[in-house]
Amino acid sequence: MDIIRVEGGYSLNGSVQVSGAKNSALKLMAATLLAPGTTVLQNVPNISDVHVMGKVLKRMGATIDVVDEHSLAIDTSQVDSWEAPYDLVAKMRASTAVMGPLLGRFGRAKIAMPGGCNLGARKIDMHILGLEALGVSFDTDHGYIYADAGEGMVGTTVTLEFASVGATENLIMAAVRAKGTTVIDNAAREPEIVDLANMLNDMGAQISGAGTPVVTIEGVEELHPVTHRVVGDRIEAGTFIVAAALMAGDEGVEITGFSTVHLGMVIKKFELMGLNIERIPGGVRVYRAQHIRPMDIQTLPFPGFPTDMQAQAMVLSALADGSSIITENIFENRFMFASELVRMGADIRIEGHHAIIHGVPGFSGAQVSSPDLRGGAALVVAGLIADGRTEVSAIHHIDRGYEHFVEKLVGLGAHVERVSVPDSLDD
């Protein structure tokens, strides 16, 4: 199996450009189903989740040309199936993002019920409730969800119980083809949703209010293919900000390719913790933190502190000169990373949705395992400052959402490598 081996203590210098946002690219790919013809997506991250979404679309009859490493030409004109099969949904629950577009294009969808994941149940009840309000009927049978728009969806007002990112996206992608006006109240406001709405509007949709809690969609008869550039990955940028805060050399580290507006709460919190983050064109320059102040953090829907930065923030808090509490409000089980960091010497106690963190002087390198995508990346980052060698396993999680993660870190001067080691069970 592959692991990432980190030798701690080497400073980071130079600059790194983040890739396109995974959590936008996957939905933009699904949305191409709404516009028969060839849509070209640029700045697409070359990551395994994108490859899986490509398989989902090809299974439905789409063709995908990899124009270059970061540009996909997706032709959905020949799509003649509306099924997201179990083997792919089980691999990546974001495959459920095809439900809205399939309903918009064909008036029906057959989606394997998404299992849970390391973060929790990951239900889609709000997706279903919202789509039912638009007139879609649902049935479940043998592990599949059957959605049927019958005579066609009719716009209405849908109030989300929680500002769910996925539910907001599926509802937008269905409502663009509903008759009349749909209003989504308590909509998620993430920048990736704005990116999706921008592309759909370029395709001929009429969406207003994306990025605010109230999104209004006027249904249209048809959508046409476009060329669209995926927004930069704010979470990848935040991950590198933490790495630089821990290990930047005197000149600091430049992190570009994203909008600081999309990371406002993270930058604000990190500056309060004592990080030195300078805004520059296209991103930030980050200097090594002289010391880290403890800071309580609550994860919340955008513009609150993103749950996808919780593990990375915990690395900083674990080295702060004092005690902090991190509260996870989005997922029911997103603290498994903490127990891995404790193996590296962190002093963290979990109580329900709260992590009580007492800062320690430093980490010691250890063998650890990635619990999920962001936790895995955060363990590698912790290894950069740890004393000695850290070996991170289960790195397929990291490959899902971080393009060329090892190469980017090596480019900054980190002593990090991907190595193959025999599976312990092979003895």
Q: Taking contact as CB under 6 A, which single stretch among the options 163-171, 198-206, 264-272, 340-348 is the one that binds ligand EPZ?
A: 163-171
| 127 part of the interface to ligand EPZ, by CB under 6 A | yes
Residue 234 in contact with ligand EPZ, rule: CB under 6 A: no
Name beta bridge partners: 176: none
> Taking contact as CB under 6 A, which single stretch among the options 159-167, 172-180, 348-356, 383-391 is the one that binds ligand EPZ?
159-167
The gap from C-alpha 191 to its chain's centroid, in whole angstroms, comes to: 11
Buried b (16+ CB within 10 A) or exposed e, 326-362: bebbbbeebbbbbebbbebbbebebeebebebebeee
Nearest-5° Cα angle at 275, 273 to 276: 145
Work out which of 82, 258, 331, 405 binds ligand EPZ, going by CB under 6 A: 331
Q: Rounded to the nearest whole angstrom, what is the least distance from the CB of residue 51 to ligand EPZ in the complex?
A: 14
C-beta of residue 390 within 8 angstroms of C-beta of residue 370: no
Which residue out of 1, 117, 220, 336 is catalytically annotated? 117
State the binding string over 81-120 for ligand EPZ (x if CB under 6 A, else -). Answer: -------------x-------------------------x
Total of chain residues touching ligand EPZ, rule CB under 6 A:
25
- Least Cβ distance, residue 387 to ligand EPZ (angstroms): 28
What's the min distance (Å) between Cβ of 347 and ligand EPZ?
Answer: 25
Per-residue x/- mask for ligand EPZ, residues 385 to 404, rule CB under 6 A?
A: ----------------x---
62 touching ligand EPZ, by CB under 6 A: no
Collapse the DSSP code of 108 into the 3-class scheme (helix H, G, I; strand E, B; otherwise coil) and give the result. Answer: strand
132 binds ligand EPZ (CB under 6 A): no
Helices and strands per DSSP (H, E), number in the chain: 14, 24
Q: Is 164 in the site for ligand EPZ (CB under 6 A)?
A: yes
Find the radius of gyration of the CA atoms of the chain: 22
CB 199 within 8 A of CB 224: no
167 contributes a contact to ligand EPZ by CB under 6 A: yes
We find the least distance from the C-beta atom of residue 400 to ligand EPZ, in angstroms, to be: 8
Binding to ligand EPZ by residue 123, rule CB under 6 A?
A: yes
Chain residues 8-27 in contact with ligand EPZ, contact rule CB under 6 A: 22-23, 26
The total of other beta-carbon atoms located within 10 Å of residue 139's CB is 10
Closest CB to ligand EPZ: residue number: 166
- Per-residue tokens: 259: 């909008």
Is the Cβ of residue 5 or residue 374 nearer to ligand EPZ in the bound state?
374
- Position 373 contacts ligand EPZ (CB under 6 A): yes
Q: To the nearest whole angstrom, how small is the minimum distance from the Cβ of residue 182 to ligand EPZ? A: 17
Burial, 130: exposed, middle or buried (Cβ in 10 Å; 0-12, 13-18, 19+)? buried
Alpha-carbon gap, residue 111 to 94, rounded angstroms: 11
| Site for ligand EPZ contains 29 (CB under 6 A) | no
Interacting residue with ligand EPZ among 330, 344, 348, 384 (CB under 6 A): 330
- Binding residue for ligand EPZ (CB under 6 A) from 74, 84, 111, 165? 165
117 is catalytic: yes
Non-local CB neighbours of 86 within 8 Å, separated by 6+ positions = 112, 143, 144
Structure-token pair, residue 276: 């030195």
Measured in residues, the chain has a length of 427
The nearest distance, CB 410 to ligand EPZ, in angstroms, is 23
| Strands (E) located in 311-366 | 323-327, 347-351, 354-358
The span from the CA of 56 to the CA of 98, in Å, is: 9
Report the SS3 class of residue 103. helix
Query: What DSSP element (H or E) covers 4?
Result: strand 2-7
Residue number, 8 or 238, with CB nearest to ligand EPZ:
238
Q: Please, what is the minimum distance in Å from the beta carbon of residue 278 to ligand EPZ? A: 27
- Minimum distance between the CB of residue 330 and ligand EPZ, rounded to whole angstroms? 5
Collapsing DSSP states into helix, strand and coil, what is residue 30? helix
Residues with Cβ < 8 Å from 35, sequence gap 6 or more? Answer: 76, 203, 204, 223, 224, 225, 226
Q: In this complex, which beta carbon is closest to ligand EPZ, that of residue 12 or of residue 171?
A: 171
| Binding of ligand EPZ by 308 (CB under 6 A) | yes
Residue 162 as a binder of ligand EPZ (CB under 6 A): the answer is yes
Site residues (vs ligand EPZ, CB under 6 A): 22-23, 26, 94, 120-127, 162, 164-167, 188, 307-308, 330-331, 373-374, 401
Active-site annotation, residues: 117
